[in-house]
A and B are shown apart, each in its own frame.
Chain A
Amino acid sequence: MSFNKVNKSVKRIDAYEKVTGRAKYGADLKFAGMLYGKVLRTKYPHARILKIDIKKALEYPGVEAVLTARDVPNNQFGVIIRNQQVLAGKETFYIGDGVAVVAARTEEAAERALELIEVKYQELPGIYDPEEAMKEDADRVHKELPGNQVIHHPLRKGDIEEGFARADVILEREYTTQFVEHSYLEPEVVIAVPHEQNSLVTIYGSVQNPYATQNAVASVLQVELSRVRVIQNHLGGSFGGKDEVISSMAARAALLALKTNRPVKMVNSRDESILESYKRHPYRMKYKVGATREGKLVAMEIKAVADSGAYACQTPFVTWRSVVQATGPYEVPHVKTDTYGYYTNNIYTGAMRGYGSPQVIFAQESLMDELATELGMDPLELRLQNIYHNNSITASGQRLDNHKVSLKEVILKAVEASNYREKYAEYNKSQSGDKKRGIGMAISFRGCSLGAEAVDAAAAIIHIQKDGSLDLYSGLAENGQGLKTIFAQIAAEELGIDLDRINFMEVDTSIIPDSGSTVASRSTLIGGNAVRNAARKVKAIIAEFIEEEYGDEFGFKAKDLIFKDNRIYVAEGKDVGDIKEIISFKEMAGKAYNAGVLLSAYGWYKAPEISWDEETGQGNPYFTYVYGCQIAEVEVDTGTGEIEVLKMTAAHDVGRAINPANVKGQIYGGVMMGLGYAIMEELETEEGYIRNTNFDGYLIPTVRDMPEIIPVIVENPDPVGPYGAKSIGEPTLELGSAAIANAVFQATGRRIRSLPLNLERVLIGHSLSKGGNR
């Protein structure tokens, strides 16, 4: 198939405004009479609030409002389970809980007012470890709930006892992962404007998921959805992170705006952002695997426990993805998996790029290498013996028969591009000196889009002006991933016009239907289909109109028309490619307008059916999957524990690359985030307090830590995706940690089962720093 606009590395359509600074971010916005909002946060992770006295704060010059939980019509919100407090009322559950909010004419006055709010706390003992939380006699984090369990997902396939009975080798291992911060460049911002254009309140800001925020604000204010309008601004990164924390901020700003009847702007500093925003879930995972002497997997038993922190947030869904991916892309006849989430008084955890997969992949792909060592096999061969092919049955009992299962192809391409076999053999020989090299791999399958989590549908609007220029709206939001460009390419491909004719509009919840959240690497797949649907609808209208106007004269039917190069043609003559122009797109638009033809359309796409049985963990949880393989080459200084990642090869089947340059961008970024997760990032907590609330203490990789990255794009078009496209955003970061840990093992002989693989763990085998004491 040949394309004109898709499958091409066109320039990002929002690049110019971003590099010139013309693009406005939330913090750039100003409104007449605007006030500044600030949050007073709790002093203790877990405490009873005995008394809040706001009198002095209210009297401070410039202060317009001080609100506490009492002023919140409905104080609990959440996407899945509604138990997150907008402001702490009787009790604080984690160190980022807000206790009061202030709006003042200057930021200084707002901050000063915070100091004048008098709060009397009674500090309470807390639970800071899910292992504690799960004990029968543990205190309950939320007294009104029966226990501390947020969720339990069981999965049962085959007969686990029988499976292990058949095994020649059984390995049992435990792995742990850490709290991780999203580290978006732009800290959270929200501006709430009251009574703008008939809405009760309009929310602007760094919003990842406009509908989730709209839902939360409406529910907190107890008003109808149409009264709350959310307009997204340019976003300085999100990675899953600007969801509940923004909803909470938006609700607070909205309350202040309505109280004062003035716009209220809230901007988090970096410290506030790290202190308050939810993190990636730490997991503790027990894996037991059984295999035959020849290296065939026969049984796997998994228990994974996630720390949900103070609130449920997205724990039920994050852990659900873990269940589906926990065994990795391997045929295992007998599987028993139990995945849990527990409340603690730690910082709450939620969505972050990867969403429950990076943790289990670190465990399960480390385990595969451990098993290979045990069996005396090459880790690559062990994998190849057990991977999914077409018609394989997954752990949840799904037969993979509706798309090309390309895992073997993906692995072999990565192996070739990294020269894996040769290097593996070379690094297996004894190496002299302190610096030792190793190479390691990890593979995965990943369900695309939401799966059985929620309704999976999205909308788009195409609106053609009478001069042939076009406005494109989408219900899914640009988060920096390049969505606008991808959607514009799809619209341009269908309508045969240039990208510069397309004006991409920001998401506005009052214009375009709720399309769910921009998450789960679903935008190109679901939203892309919606855009294509809208484009095809307008195209059909245009074709019909052209047939009516010129069909008789030139002797063609609507279906014969070709849309290309901003013009509309018909095929002519015998040779393929011989075409005759009927009319330019621009002229057509003018004529259609004058003829009273509607040149706008709503596009809609609903994903194929899926199924899931909560009791057994069986069903078809996703309608399609992507496959990836990453290979890490490292050099470890055995004298200091320093790891240098020399090279990462990342092969990913994306179905079809709508924009290969963007796909590479996702690979580079995802690999770097995975590298940070693997070797340095860790939010250190101590009894619920956070020790590193800024980037001097919370380390993310710099450009100097960046290895050579070799992206390998594999394309096996999916029957469902637009032009065959599937997903790339999240698969890129779920593989790095295991690949690097496996490479470090080859280099040093030291198997590290806790992330991150920091200097101490590599050198002395365990971390002694207080926060990472495991």
Chain B
Amino acid sequence: MKESAARSGNRQGTSGGDFKDCFRPEDYFTASKYFAPESLKEAVEILEGYGGDLKVLAGGTDLLVEYYERLYEVKGWLDLKNIPGLKEIKVFEDRIEIGPLVTHTELEKSENIKEYYPVLNRAAADVGSPQIRNRGTIGGNIITASPAGDLLAPLMAYDAEFKLVSTRGERIVPVGQFFTGPKRTIISSNEILSRIIIPLPGERTYGSWCKVGKRKALIISSITLALVVKFNKERVIKDIRACLGAVAPTPVEIKEVRKRARGKRIEDLNFSELGELVAERISPIDDIRGTAEYRRDVAREIMINALEEIAEKAAE
């Protein structure tokens, strides 16, 4: 009985007036356990208590696909929606803190994100469709850890850190150590991602974003590139991060780019050589979204384009 009630929520919809006004998880998940605690403390305690049996629920756009027609397999749900503060974007002197429940639409609309992290802002605008952007969250995107997750390369390029909490306390993990494989991270089943912390980029930082996919919307990326370059007053490159998605098991930074470009002016760089470098260092596979050969070719091209774009912006 338990199964059937959960499954009926997953059946093909009928047309017309049979739909509820809006999606209310509690209506759907009546058969399994459903929690919507009002504090983070309570949330981690519930999580601890069920020892990994609960699914943490944010927007549900990944979870409901993952469990399509198998919702009954989920033992219980921990919905984060009532926890205060998780939907905020807060600006501090040296950093911005983004709550995990901030949606793609909010990242797309936020003036602060636009100003400080334009690459993240544009990546969010390229996610899925309006419906998916309205529900899908930055936290869900990070924890899902798809190699093609659109926000991951930008977060890497901006040096983000993730705050994880459990009943035992908190830890802060830099983005570079967080992803361990396709859909795998170091988060444990009793932890909740509570904050995404990104240092403020400072003046003379420029970014470029590129997503290539087989159509213009609702598309899992074939390849993404987030390039962020910081210049000093003398227009010398202080730091440069070339991060790519969908070209390796996890989002990757091509660190050699940093080694080669730091301390130089952008006009003194050989763009084709850097493009070639990126193409060489990635480890793409053949899959339905693109072949390895294609991805290498494109990685080179979009790297060159991104450098050109930044050179232009920096010259203004």
Pair B14/A692 contact, Cβ less than 8 Å: no
A640 with B288: in contact, given A703-B217, A705-B215 (CB under 8 Å)? no
Pair B288/A697 contact, Cβ less than 8 Å: yes
How far, in whole Å, are A697 and B301 apart by their CA atoms in the complex? 25
CB distance from B295 to the nearest CB of A (A): 10
Smallest CB gap from A698: residue in B: B288
At the interface, yes or no: B302 with Cβ under 8 Å from chain A?
yes
CB distance from B66 to the nearest CB of A (A): 12
At the interface, yes or no: A27 with Cβ under 8 Å from chain B?
yes
A769 with B288: in contact, given A705-B217, A759-B294 (CB under 8 Å)? yes
How far, in whole Å, are A363 and B3 apart by their CA atoms in the complex? 52
At the interface, yes or no: B297 with Cβ under 8 Å from chain A?
yes
A22 with B16: in contact, given A639-B305, A642-B212, A705-B215 (CB under 8 Å)? yes
Within 8 A of A (CB), among B286-315: 286, 288, 290-291, 293-294, 297-298, 301-302, 304-305
Pair A759/B290 contact, Cβ less than 8 Å: yes
Within 8 A of A (CB), among B200-226: 212, 214-220, 222
Pair A699/B215 contact, Cβ less than 8 Å: yes
A764 with B297: in contact, given A21-B15, A639-B305, A759-B222 (CB under 8 Å)? yes
Q: Which of B4-12, B116-124, B169-177, B245-253 contacts A (4 or more CB under 8 A)?
A: B4-12
Provide the residues of chain B in CB contact with A572, threshold 8 Å. Answer: none
Provide the residues of chain A in CB contact with B222, threshold 8 Å. Answer: 759
How far, in whole Å, are A770 and B292 apart by their CA atoms in the complex? 12
CB distance from B238 to the nearest CB of A (A): 28
By secondary structure, the A interface counts as loop
By secondary structure, the B interface counts as loop
How far, in whole Å, are A758 and B219 apart by their CA atoms in the complex? 14
At the interface, yes or no: B51 with Cβ under 8 Å from chain A?
no
Per-residue CB contact flags for chain A residues 167-205 toward chain B (1 = under 8 Å, else 0) read 000000000000000000001000000000000000000
At the interface, yes or no: A665 with Cβ under 8 Å from chain B?
no
Contact for B286 among A23, A25, A696, A769, CB less than 8 A: A769
CB distance from B148 to the nearest CB of A (A): 12
Q: Which of A691, A704, A760 has the most CB of B within 10 A?
A: A760
Per-residue CB contact flags for chain A residues 678-699 toward chain B (1 = under 8 Å, else 0) read 0010001000000110001101
Smallest CB gap from B72: residue in A: A108
How far, in whole Å, are A23 and B14 apart by their CA atoms in the complex? 11
Pair B216/A763 contact, Cβ less than 8 Å: no
How far, in whole Å, are A458 and B89 apart by their CA atoms in the complex? 66
Contact for B219 among A699, A703, A760, A769, CB less than 8 A: A699
How far, in whole Å, are A320 and B100 apart by their CA atoms in the complex? 59
Pair A763/B3 contact, Cβ less than 8 Å: no
Pair B291/A702 contact, Cβ less than 8 Å: no
Smallest CB gap from A271: residue in B: B69
At the interface, yes or no: A653 with Cβ under 8 Å from chain B?
no
Pair B214/A27 contact, Cβ less than 8 Å: no
Pair A768/B293 contact, Cβ less than 8 Å: yes
Provide the residues of chain B in CB contact with A696, threshold 8 Å. Answer: 220
Pair A27/B17 contact, Cβ less than 8 Å: no
Pair A21/B293 contact, Cβ less than 8 Å: no
Pair B12/A763 contact, Cβ less than 8 Å: no
CB distance from B186 to the nearest CB of A (A): 27
Pair B298/A639 contact, Cβ less than 8 Å: yes
How far, in whole Å, are A702 and B217 apart by their CA atoms in the complex? 7
CB distance from B190 to the nearest CB of A (A): 31
A-B pairs with beta carbons under 8 A, tally: 91
Pair A267/B297 contact, Cβ less than 8 Å: no
Provide the residues of chain A in CB contact with B69, threshold 8 Å. Answer: 269
Provide the residues of chain B in CB contact with A269, threshold 8 Å. Answer: 12, 69
CB distance from A568 to the nearest CB of B (A): 40
CB distance from A251 to the nearest CB of B (A): 22
At the interface, yes or no: A641 with Cβ under 8 Å from chain B?
yes
Pair A434/B288 contact, Cβ less than 8 Å: no
CB distance from B17 to the nearest CB of A (A): 6
At the interface, yes or no: A701 with Cβ under 8 Å from chain B?
yes
Q: Number of A interface residues, CB 8 Å?
A: 41
A434 with B305: in contact, given A21-B16, A760-B291 (CB under 8 Å)? yes
Smallest CB gap from B298: residue in A: A640
Contact for A187 among B12, B219, B290, B293, CB less than 8 A: B12
Provide the residues of chain B in CB contact with A764, threshold 8 Å. Answer: 293-294, 297
Provide the residues of chain B in CB contact with A703, threshold 8 Å. Answer: 217
Pair B216/A702 contact, Cβ less than 8 Å: yes
Provide the residues of chain A in CB contact with B3, threshold 8 Å. Answer: 108
Smallest CB gap from A762: residue in B: B294
At the interface, yes or no: A508 with Cβ under 8 Å from chain B?
no
Provide the residues of chain B in CB contact with A553, threshold 8 Å. Answer: none
CB distance from B71 to the nearest CB of A (A): 12
CB distance from B28 to the nearest CB of A (A): 17
Pair B212/A640 contact, Cβ less than 8 Å: yes
Contact for B288 among A22, A106, A641, A684, CB less than 8 A: A684
At the interface, yes or no: A107 with Cβ under 8 Å from chain B?
yes
Per-residue CB contact flags for chain A residues 379-400 toward chain B (1 = under 8 Å, else 0) read 0000000000000000000000
CB distance from A591 to the nearest CB of B (A): 41
How far, in whole Å, are A768 and B292 apart by their CA atoms in the complex? 9
Contact for A106 among B4, B216, B219, CB less than 8 A: B4
CB distance from A665 to the nearest CB of B (A): 20
Provide the residues of chain B in CB contact with A578, threshold 8 Å. Answer: none
Pair A691/B15 contact, Cβ less than 8 Å: no
At the interface, yes or no: A575 with Cβ under 8 Å from chain B?
no
Provide the residues of chain B in CB contact with A701, threshold 8 Å. Answer: 215
At the interface, yes or no: A500 with Cβ under 8 Å from chain B?
no
Smallest CB gap from A269: residue in B: B12
Per-residue CB contact flags for chain A residues 8-30 toward chain B (1 = under 8 Å, else 0) read 00000000000011111101100
How far, in whole Å, are A32 and B280 apart by their CA atoms in the complex? 65
How far, in whole Å, are A764 and B11 apart by their CA atoms in the complex? 42
A768 with B212: in contact, given A640-B302, A705-B217 (CB under 8 Å)? no
A108 with B7: in contact, given A639-B298, A763-B297 (CB under 8 Å)? yes
Provide the residues of chain A in CB contact with B218, threshold 8 Å. Answer: 702
Smallest CB gap from B296: residue in A: A764
Provide the residues of chain B in CB contact with A704, threshold 8 Å. Answer: 215-217
Provide the residues of chain B in CB contact with A758, threshold 8 Å. Answer: 214
Provide the residues of chain B in CB contact with A22, threshold 8 Å. Answer: 16
Provide the residues of chain B in CB contact with A680, threshold 8 Å. Answer: 214-215
How far, in whole Å, are A734 and B16 apart by their CA atoms in the complex? 34
Provide the residues of chain B in CB contact with A434, threshold 8 Å. Answer: 301, 305
Contact for B12 among A21, A27, A106, A769, CB less than 8 A: A27
Given contacts A108-B7, A763-B298, 10 further A-B contacts (CB under 8 A): A20-B16, A25-B15, A107-B7, A267-B12, A702-B218, A704-B216, A705-B216, A760-B291, A768-B293, A769-B290
A-B contact pairs, 26 of them (CB 8 A): A25-B14, A27-B15, A28-B14, A108-B4, A187-B12, A267-B12, A269-B69, A639-B302, A639-B304, A639-B305, A642-B212, A699-B214, A701-B215, A702-B129, A702-B217, A702-B218, A704-B215, A705-B216, A758-B214, A759-B294, A759-B298, A760-B293, A763-B294, A763-B297, A768-B286, A769-B290
Q: Which residues of B contact A (CB under 8 A)?
A: 3-4, 7, 11-12, 14-17, 69, 129, 212, 214-220, 222, 286, 288, 290-291, 293-294, 297-298, 301-302, 304-305
The 3 closest A-B pairs by CB, nearest first: A21-B16, A639-B301, A768-B291
